[in-house]
Copies of this chain bind each other. A is one copy, B any other.
Amino acid sequence: MEVRIDPWDYRLIQEYDKLFTVFGIQPIDNIPRRELLKHHFFTRRIIFGHRDFDKWLEALVKGEKVIVLTGFMPSGTPHLGTAMVFEELKYFQSIGAQVKIVIADAEAYAVRREDRDLTIKFGLEFVKHALAWGLNPEKTEFYFQTAMREAYYRLIQMFSRKITMAEMEAIYGDLSPAKVVSALTQVADILHPQLEEFGGFKHVLVPVGVDQDPHLRLARDVADRFEGELGLTRPSSTYHKLLRGLDGNKMSKSRPDFAIFLDESEETIRKKIAMALTGGRATAEEQRRLGGEPWKCMVFELYTYFLLDDKELNEIREDCLKGRILCGECKKIAFEKLVEKIREHKKRYMEINENLAIDRIVRKPSF
């Protein structure tokens, strides 16, 4: 059977193990220098796989130039699914990496025909939220994709010449002209920081959900073919499990009732948590007898990604499994932890919003 990952399809990828065997993604567990990776995203295997992450880590340790690169399509206030990437970037910064963030406004305009002023506004909002989450403005470069059109167009033209349609189809499945242009744009995004005109060679790490792996695979192929001409090397990548929304599907702004946004009010958080999918049983009696199923529970997912340290997480897991805590009580704990987290975020956001000379850290958009 043919298995293919589609970056334009947002369904969840359920069977992570297949990724190791079919696509050659490496499990994160046996990586050398594992001791450097203390963040709970690693210890809890939320970041579960990688390609050449060991090489990137080795370069970091040796003091070579390393960056972490990621892109976002801004569309209103970020939710926790986005914050999860902020969290990753923040961690990589803490161990010594520079961060470069692409705001995919060109793509946003092409895909959604969104009003340009609105896209820029969303983009700047996004920057503020990223900083509020704790990214270090001294170590973070934000840029709008539209400001890069000239360079990207050149790269797309060059890259397109050494890739066949069959190769792209093997990676992406059926193609449209838009997908060809979009995929080549993603590759330009991923590879450009290595070029002379963008500061010269550095080791690039791209932390993504596995739905984005096709772009990484294409970027690796392109890097191989332009090794001589442009001095490109393969990017490294890590793969995280996508945060699920409160209904158990991928958290997405297209289903806002099941997402937690970073500016969410206390009252809305209460309502959303109240209706979250849990691993509870049909009746309280049954749950006390059989225990809950935390692996099915979106509240437990929030705990795992954001809200509890290892000790707390283990305790609540045990309590759940043994039927010592029911969903109502558990949701109350989650609500309080989450409200506190969002409140702190909003406070930092307000400070940043008042004090930040945002122009200084963002490469301007152009239309």
Contact = CB atoms under 8 A, between A and B. Distances in A.
Interface of A: 106-107, 109-111, 113, 146, 149-150, 152-154, 156-161, 163-165, 168, 174-178, 180-182, 184-185, 229, 366-367
Q: How many copies does the complex hold?
A: 2
Contacts of A163: 176-178
A110 B177 contact: no
Contacts of A229: 113
A180 B179 CA distance: 11
Nearest to A366: B150
Contacts of A109: 154, 157-158
A311 B178 CA distance: 55
Given A157-B185, A160-B182, 4 more contacts: A110-B157, A153-B153, A177-B180, A181-B181
7 contacts: A111-B161, A113-B229, A149-B150, A157-B181, A163-B176, A165-B175, A177-B184
A159 B180 CA distance: 12
Interface of A is mostly: helix
Contacts of A154: 106, 109, 146, 149, 367
A146 B158 CA distance: 13
A161 B110 CA distance: 7
Contact of A150 (B150, B157, B164, B168): B150
B149 A164 contact: no
Contacts of A181: 156-157, 160, 180-181, 184
B160 A149 contact: no
Contact of A153 (B152, B165, B174, B180): B152
A367 B163 CA distance: 22
A103 B160 CA distance: 21
A161 B178 contact: yes
B184 A160 contact: no
A9 to B, nearest CB: 17
Nearest to A188: B153
A366 B168 CA distance: 29
Nearest to A218: B177
A294 to B, nearest CB: 43
Contacts of A182: 157, 160
A156 B109 CA distance: 12
A245 to B, nearest CB: 28
B150 A165 contact: no
A154 B180 CA distance: 14
B176 A164 contact: yes
Contacts of A152: 153
Contact of A180 (B149, B180, B367): B180
Given A106-B154, A157-B106, A165 B149 contact: no
Nearest to A176: B165
Nearest to A158: B110
Nearest to A162: B178
Nearest to A111: B161
Contacts of A168: 177
Nearest to A157: B110
A174 to B, nearest CB: 8
